[in-house]
Every structure is written in structure tokens, then in C-alpha cells.
């Protein structure tokens, strides 16, 4: 494998379902600390791409590297999480019957075995980490509230917080602002921007105003491969992108 | 947690009361007095408490881990059979046929020697080990295959029903070596103490109280630990928990094994008190009844399971005596009503349970925020 400086590196990845190519020779990279937005019409392969990176779907061909040395195609889903890739799904799934702080506690990095968890005590350092993440996601006041009581936006932030507990180097965030109020969208934008730099963040999103407000580099997917790439303005004025979006 | 604390305090108070008062009322109050607790009463309480342990074992996996086992009676019966084998060996030459080694049913079947799996059961410590190990091992093997194949939900419930039914059919066979459809009975003594004496019965009751309290503490410790929180996470969002990197199958498996061990010990304590064990204990209906006790008491609380088991069984004793033909209808109606009107069971009636507690802990500011969000969405 060639040496590169990317955090994540996909090369000619192809996935087909019954002959339909969900991903077609897709190549892209994500740099360390970068905030990358991926947009594209329905069926462009955005979710499949996330599935490949997180090990849920195995590609027919191609390579996927995390850093220079970790071949993600050889790892299980759990090993990929442990390697430092966190994924936030579209629909928020927090543990409804556990408190916000307990949700974060379960997301702490560390040994996950039954017998370890039986005797586990939350150390001062772990407690500190929980407090820190609570303040990043702005839920310090709600830490003793059950997950099910949270508003939609708060659930999304809690879930991002759960990803942060594991200190991931790469965050994959699927449609974070769907169903959010304008205030919540604004807060989410601030949150994601503040996370980039210390983490690589990949956001898949439909909301163009939101993408414009956070993105430095945008990739447009179409029929399983990269259609256009660059700044938001450049991408929006790209004639091929206009054709794909208007042609639908 | 305030309601849980209160439920717990009540539970402990009642258990101590039973452990102290029942023996006194039985042994010290003269037989003529109206206050005397009959030996039958002692046995009945002991039986209810064994059922309470069975209910506890159901609640541990169903209430906290979302595993609805409809085969808990299988583990209960296996523990009971292990105790029964010890009690049969204790009879020695006092059986009808007077064989010093072979239990009566083996002599009757014309067997010449003890089957290999009967060896060692004349030693109490070995029998004691088997009361926990046999159900535990079955749960370990069965659970390993079931959870590894990701059998869950209603499918798991169905195969556990099949498991207990299959065991019932197997134990009905004479050549299994467990006494066929008669099972084991006519026990004489346990550790040299006469099983028919009041003193022995009282001690058995107190041991049952202690075992129930011990099981409760173990379950309480587990459910209050981080492992317990992971179990609740599995119950509410299994794939999310797996995605966080938890080996979900292993959590389910160990909870299931612990639950089987508790059920086994309950069965082992049940047999010397009721004086018989036979394959009908494996009947699928028994496992379903245990689930109903937990639903009535309130799942996911532990003390609710205990209360539910005792109350429903008290009702059963009363109704099967007074109106035998109504009991099954009453049980069915009870289950339907609880499901419809009391989804949290009797424990849900305690003031200040989960929802309210968090209502109080909720920061005053957050409530209007929540309402505002809802309004804005519209």
C-alpha cells in the first residue's frame, strides 16, 4: 500500500447489490482534522459508503485504509470502533431508560467484557471525561435526566457525545440536522465545527444551508462515485452537479 | 430510585418477619391456639418463597436484559431433581424393597446397579453443587448456541418452551433413570434430620428465606453495576449496544446462566418442602405462570417479582381450593388486565416511581425548553 497522509483513504471501492452498483470505483480521502461534507441525491451511495467504512457492508473490490496501516476490510465492526471510527446514525438511538450521564458512561473507552463491567467503578478521570463531554454537547444540566425525556436535538447531541467518549479519530455523522429546529441546527453546526481539528469529521447531509455553514470541502456523490469536489460555491456552480440535481 | 428503596426496605422487613415469626408461631404457640401457624402453613410459605426465587430469576433476564425465557421451570426442575436424587439416596434401606443402594423405582425396573450419573449423589456437597451446576450448565450450552445464532425475542421464548417440553417428555421415560412419571417421593430425611418434623420444616423455611435474600442481593448487585446498565441498554437498544463495542451475546449468556442457577437453587429448596418432584414440574405452563407473576409484580424491579409470585400463588391456593374451575380463567384475566392497565405491574402503583422521580430531578428550566421545542416544530 502506498504511503499517504490521509486519515481515511478509499480507493476504487465497488459494492453491488444484485447487479446494482451502489458504489462504483469510489475513491476519496479524508485528511486529519478535516470537516468534510458529502452530499448527493438519494441512492448516490452515501449510506453504503458509511457501511463500508464501518464494516457493515463488505465491498466487492477496492481498498479502504484508516491511516497508513489499518486495513479496515480485515476488521470486524467492533474492531473498527475500537480502532477509532465512530458513526452517528441518522435516527438518534440513545438508551432511553438510562440517564444522560449513564449513556455516556457506557460509551467510555475501555474493556467491554461482562466480568470487567460487573466490578467497574467510574474513576475520577472517567468522571472528568464525562463532565467534559457533557459540557461539549451542552447537556450538563440534563445529566441526570433519562434519555427518553430529551428533545430530538438533545438526543442527537447526546449520541455525538457517546461517540466522543471513545475518543475517535474519525467521526461519521449521518444527517445530523434532519428534524431539528433552526436553533438546534445552529448549535449542531457550532458543535461539529468545534470538533473538527481534534477529530476528522465526515458529515452526510441534505440540508444545503447547513452544509454551506460548516463545510470547507464538499464531495458530491452520484451513482456510486465522486461527481464533483471542492468548495461549496465551486460545487454548486458545477454544471454536472446542476444537471444531476435538476435532472431528477 | 426512592420507590425502589422503599420497595426494598419493605421486602427485607417482610422477609425478616417471616423468618422470625413463622417459626415462633409454629413451634412455640400451642396447637390448640388460634394463632398457631400449622406445619402446612409453614410449607406453603416455603413454597411461595421458592416460587419467588423463580420469579426473581425470570425478572433478572426479562426485566433487565429483555430475554423472555418461557423455560425457567426447566432449570427449577433440574435443581429439584438434583435435590431429589440426594434425598432418594438418603432413604437407603428404608425403601419398600429395602435395597441399601438402589431407590425403589430402580428395583422395580429390575436394574442391578446405579446408573453412572447417580454416583456421588449420596454426598450432600456434591448434590449441592449439582443443584446449581446442572441448570447452569444447561443454560450455558443452550444459551451459547441460541445467543450466538442471535436468536432473540419471541423466537427465543418459543425455543425455551420447546426445551422445557422436551425435557418433560424425556423425564417421563422410565429408562432415563429419573423415576419416570412418578418422579421421586417418599423422602425420609435430609442430612440426617427428619423431613416430617416441624423443626426441620421450620429450618428449611428459614434457609429458603436466606436463599431468597441472597439471590436478591446478587441480582441487586448485578443490576446496579455497570454490567447491569449494559444489560438494560441491551434490553432497550440491542444493536446500538453492540455498536458501542459490547459483546452483547456474552452479557446475555452470563445473565441467563445466573438466572438458571437461581432457578435451580429454588427448585432444590422446593423439593424437600413439598416432598415430591416429577416431570410435570417441567410443564410449559409452569414457566408461563412464572412470567405472569413477574408481570403482575412489575418487571425490572426485582422486589416486584417477589411480591407478584407470593400474591399470585396465594390467590392460586385460595381459588383452586374455593373455586377450582375458575383458576385458569382468573390467571388469564389477570395477565390481560395487568398488560392493559398496569404495564408496570403492582410496583408501578408505588408513588414516585421512575417517571416521577426524574420529573423531580429535571432541571426546572428544561421543561419549558422542551415545550418550546414542540411548539416550534409545529
Q: Which domains does chain A have, with CATH numbers?
A: 8-247 (3.40.50.300)
Residue B158: the pLDDT is: 96
Residue B18: the pLDDT is: 93
Q: Scanning every residue of chain A, which has its alpha carbon at the shortest distance from the alpha carbon of B355?
A: A146
- With a cut of 90, say whether residue A23 has pLDDT above it: yes
Q: Which of A219, A5, A216, A200 is nearest to A86 (CA)?
A: A200
- Partner-chain residue, chosen from A82, A113, A141, that has the shortest CB–CB distance to B250: A113
Residue B72's φ and ψ, nearest 5 degrees, are -60, -30
Q: Is A163 on the interface with B (CB under 8 A)?
A: no
Cell of B261: 442457577
Q: Which of A224, A163, A241, A243 is nearest to A28 (CA)?
A: A224
pLDDT tens figures, A56-85: 899 999 999 999 889 999 998 878 888 899
Q: What is the 3-state secondary structure (H, E, C) of chain A?
A: CCCCCCCEEEEEEEEEECCEEEEEEEEEEECCCCEEEEECCCCCCHHHHHHHHCCCCCCCEEEEEECCCEEHHHCCHHHHHHHCEEEECCCCCCCCCCEHHHHHHHCCCCCCCHHHHHHCCCCHHHHHHHHHHHHHCCCHHHCCCEHHHCCHHHHHHHHHHHHHHCCCCEEEEECCCCCCCHHHHHHHHHHHHHHECCEEEEEECCCHHHHHHHCCEEEEEECCEEEEEECHHHHHCCHHHHHHHHHC
Measured between alpha carbons, how far is A163 from A154 in angstroms, rounded to an integer? 14
Residue A245: the pLDDT is: 78
Q: Is A98 on the interface with B (CB under 8 A)?
A: yes
pLDDT tens figures, B177-198: 999 999 999 999 999 999 999 9
Rounded-to-10 torsion of CA B255, B257, B263, B267: -170
pLDDT (mean) for B60-71: 96
- With a cut of 90, say whether residue B272 has pLDDT above it: yes
Q: Is B246 on the interface with A (CB under 8 A)?
A: yes
Measured between alpha carbons, how far is A151 from B368 in angstroms, rounded to an integer? 11
Q: Do B226 and A120 touch (CB under 8 A)?
A: yes
Cell of B16: 425478616
Residues in Cβ contact with A66 at an 8 Å cutoff, skipping those fewer than 6 apart: A7, A8, A9, A72, A80, A83, A84, A85, A170
Tell me the CA distances in angstroms from A240 to A208, A229, A235, B194, B235, one per residue in order.
Answer: 17, 11, 9, 93, 48
Helix boundaries (H) for chain B: 2-27, 39-65, 72-91, 104-108, 124-148, 153-172, 198-224, 226-236, 238-243, 248-274, 284-297, 303-322, 327-341, 354-361, 366-377
Residue B267: the pLDDT is: 98
Q: Regarding predicted confidence, which is higher, A109 or A229?
A: A229
Among A69-73, B203-207, B369-373, name the one with the lowest average pLDDT: B369-373
pLDDT (mean) for B40-69: 96
Contact B65, B255 (CB under 8 A): yes
Q: Is A178 on the interface with B (CB under 8 A)?
A: no
Q: Do B354 and A146 touch (CB under 8 A)?
A: yes
Report the run of H or E that residue B276 belongs to, with start and end: strand B276-277
Contact B146, B248 (CB under 8 A): no
pLDDT tens figures, B89-99: 999 999 999 99
Measured between alpha carbons, how far is B305 from B212 in angstroms, rounded to an integer? 12
| DSSP one-letter code for B101 | S
Q: Do B232 and A98 touch (CB under 8 A)?
A: yes
Q: CA B21 from chain center: how many Å?
A: 24
Q: Do A145 and B366 touch (CB under 8 A)?
A: yes
Q: Do B245 and A97 touch (CB under 8 A)?
A: no
SS3 B193: strand
Measured between alpha carbons, how far is B369 from A206 in angstroms, rounded to an integer? 27
Q: What is the 3-state secondary structure (H, E, C) of A152-220?
A: HHHHHHHHHHHHHHCCCCEEEEECCCCCCCHHHHHHHHHHHHHHECCEEEEEECCCHHHHHHHCCEEEE
pLDDT tens figures, A86-100: 888 777 789 999 999
Of all residues in chain A, the percent with pLDDT exceeding 70 is 97
Is the pTM value of this prediction over 0.80? yes
Chain B residue numbers with beta carbons less than 8 Å from the beta carbon of A81 are 243-245
Residue B2: the pLDDT is: 60
Residue B213: the pLDDT is: 96
pLDDT tens figures, B119-153: 999 999 999 999 999 999 999 999 999 999 999 88
What does the buried/exposed string (b/e) look like for A116-127 if buried means 16 or more CB atoms within 10 Å of the residue's CB? ebbebeeeeebe
- With a cut of 60, say whether residue B376 has pLDDT above it: no
Chain B residue numbers with beta carbons less than 8 Å from the beta carbon of A98 are 229, 232-233, 236
pLDDT tens figures, A147-205: 999 999 999 999 999 999 988 999 999 888 888 999 999 999 999 999 998 999 999 98
The angle, 0 to 180 degrees and rounded to 10, between the axes of the packed helices B303-322 and B198-224 is: 140
Residue B3: the pLDDT is: 64
Place of cell 447417580: B118
Q: Which of B192, B161, B172, B369 is nearest to B284 (CA)?
A: B161
Q: Is B224 on the interface with A (CB under 8 A)?
A: no
Contact B207, B275 (CB under 8 A): no
Q: How many CB atoms lie within 10 A of CB B108?
A: 15
From B260's Cα to the closest Cα of chain A, the distance in A is 17
Residue B366: the pLDDT is: 31
Task: Calculate ∠ Cα B230-B234-B240, nearest 5°.
Answer: 100
What does the buried/exposed string (b/e) look like for B15-33 if buried means 16 or more CB atoms within 10 Å of the residue's CB? beebbeebbebbeeeeeee
Residue A82: the pLDDT is: 85
Q: Regarding predicted confidence, which is higher, B352 or B65?
A: B65
Residue A242: the pLDDT is: 87
Measured between alpha carbons, how far is B77 from B352 in angstroms, rounded to an integer? 38
Residue B244: the pLDDT is: 83
* First-to-final CA distance of chain B: 35
Residue B362: the pLDDT is: 29
Contact A105, A130 (CB under 8 A): yes
Q: Do B243 and A81 touch (CB under 8 A)?
A: yes
Fold adopted by B2-373: ABC transporter involved in vitamin B12 uptake, BtuC (1.10.3470)
Measured between alpha carbons, how far is A45 from A24 in angstroms, rounded to an integer? 9
pLDDT tens figures, B328-361: 899 999 999 998 999 899 888 877 544 433 333 3
- With a cut of 90, say whether residue B234 has pLDDT above it: yes
Task: Calculate ∠ Cα B111-B117-B119, nearest 5°.
Answer: 85
Amino acid at each position: 500500500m502506498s504511503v499517504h497522509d490521509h486519515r481515511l483513504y478509499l480507493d476504487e471501492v465497488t459494492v453491488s447489490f444484485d447487479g446494482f452498483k451502489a458504489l462504483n470505483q469510489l475513491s476519496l480521502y479524508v485528511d486529519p482534522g478535516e470537516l468534510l461534507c458529502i452530499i448527493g441525491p438519494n441512492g448516490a451511495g452515501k449510506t453504503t459508503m458509511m457501511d463500508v467504512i464501518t464494516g457493515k457492508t463488505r465491498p466487492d473490490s477496492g481498498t479502504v485504509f484508516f491511516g497508513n496501516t489499518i486495513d479496515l476490510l480485515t476488521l470486524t465492526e467492533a474492531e473498527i470502533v475500537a480502532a477509532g471510527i465512530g458513526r452517528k446514525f441518522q435516527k438518534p438511538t440513545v438508551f432511553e431508560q438510562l440517564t444522560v450521564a449513564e449513556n455516556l458512561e457506557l460509551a467510555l473507552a475501555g474493556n467491554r467484557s461482562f466480568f470487567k463491567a460487573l466490578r467497574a467503578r467510574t474513576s475520577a478521570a472517567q468522571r472528568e471525561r464525562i463532565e467534559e463531554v457533557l459540557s461539549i454537547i451542552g447537556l450538563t444540566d440534563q445529566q441526570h435526566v433519562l434519555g427518553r425525556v430529551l428533545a430530538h436535538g438533545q438526543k442527537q447531541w447526546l449520541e455525538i457525545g457517546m461517540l466522543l467518549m471513545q475518543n475517535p479519530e474519525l467521526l461519521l455523522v449521518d444527517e445530523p440536522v434532519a428534524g431539528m429546529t433552526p436553533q438546534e441546527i445552529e448549535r449542531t453546526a457550532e458543535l461539529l465545527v468545534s470538533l473538527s481539528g481534534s477529530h476528522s469529521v465526515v458529515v452526510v447531509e441534505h440540508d444545503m444551508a447547513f452544509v454551506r455553514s460548516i463545510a470547507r470541502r464538499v464531495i458530491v456523490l452520484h451513482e456510486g462515485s465522486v461527481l464533483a469536489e471542492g468548495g461549496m460555491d465551486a460545487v454548486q456552480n458545477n454544471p454536472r452537479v446542476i444537471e444531476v440535481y435538476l435532472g431528477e | 430510585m426512592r420507590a425502589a428503596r422503599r420497595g426494598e426496605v419493605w421486602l427485607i422487613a417482610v422477609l425478616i418477619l417471616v423468618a422470625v415469626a413463622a417459626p415462633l408461631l409454629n413451634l412455640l404457640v400451642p396447637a390448640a391456639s388460634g394463632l398457631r401457624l400449622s406445619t402446612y402453613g409453614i410449607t406453603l410459605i416455603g413454597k411461595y418463597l421458592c416460587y419467588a426465587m423463580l420469579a426473581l430469576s425470570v425478572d433478572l433476564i426479562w426485566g433487565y436484559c429483555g430475554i423472555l425465557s418461557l423455560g425457567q421451570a426447566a432449570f427449577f426442575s433440574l435443581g429439584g431433581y438434583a435435590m431429589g436424587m440426594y434425598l432418594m439416596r438418603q432413604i437407603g434401606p428404608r425403601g419398600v424393597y429395602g435395597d441399601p443402594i438402589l431407590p425403589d423405582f430402580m428395583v422395580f425396573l429390575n436394574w442391578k446397579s446405579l446408573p453412572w450419573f447417580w454416583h456421588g449423589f449420596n454426598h450432600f456437597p456434591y448434590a449441592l453443587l449439582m443443584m446449581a451446576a446442572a441448570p447452569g450448565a444447561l443454560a450455558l450450552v443452550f444459551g451459547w448456541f441460541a445467543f450466538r445464532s442471535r436468536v432473540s425475542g419471541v423466537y427465543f421464548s418459543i425455543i425455551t418452551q420447546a426445551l422445557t417440553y422436551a425435557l418433560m417428555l424425556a423425564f417421563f421415560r422410565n429408562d432415563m433413570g429419573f423415576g419416570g412419571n412418578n418422579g421421586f417421593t417418599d423422602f425420609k430425611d435430609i442430612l440426617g434430620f427428619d423431613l416430617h418434623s416441624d423443626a426441620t420444616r421450620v429450618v428449611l423455611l428459614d434457609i429458603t428465606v436466606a436463599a431468597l435474600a441472597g439471590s436478591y442481593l446478587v441480582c441487586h448487585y448485578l443490576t446496579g453495576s455497570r454490567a447491569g446498565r449494559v444489560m438494560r441498554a441491551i434490553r432497550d437498544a440491542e444493536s446500538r449496544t453492540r455498536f458501542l463495542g459490547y459483546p452483547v451475546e456474552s452479557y446475555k449468556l452470563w445473565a441467563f446462566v445466573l438466572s438458571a442457577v437461581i432457578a435451580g437453587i429454588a427448585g432444590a429448596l422446593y423439593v424437600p418442602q413439598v416432598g415430591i418432584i416429577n416431570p410435570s414440574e417441567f410443564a410449559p405452563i409452569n414457566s408461563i405462570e412464572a412470567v405472569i407473576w413477574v408481570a403482575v409484580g412489575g418487571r425490572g424491579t426485582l422486589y416486584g417479582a417477589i411480591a407478584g409470585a407470593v400474591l399470585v400463588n396465594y390467590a392460586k391456593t385460595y381459588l383452586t381450593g374455593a373455586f377450582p374451575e375458575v383458576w385458569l380463567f382468573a390467571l388469564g384475566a389477570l395477565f390481560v388486565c395487568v398488560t392493559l392497565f398496569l404495564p408496570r405491574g403492582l410496583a408501578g402503583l408505588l408513588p414516585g416511581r421512575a417517571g416521577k422521580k426524574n420529573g423531580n430531578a429535571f432541571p426546572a428550566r428544561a421543561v419549558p425548553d422542551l415545550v418550546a421545542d414542540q411548539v416550534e416544530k409545529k
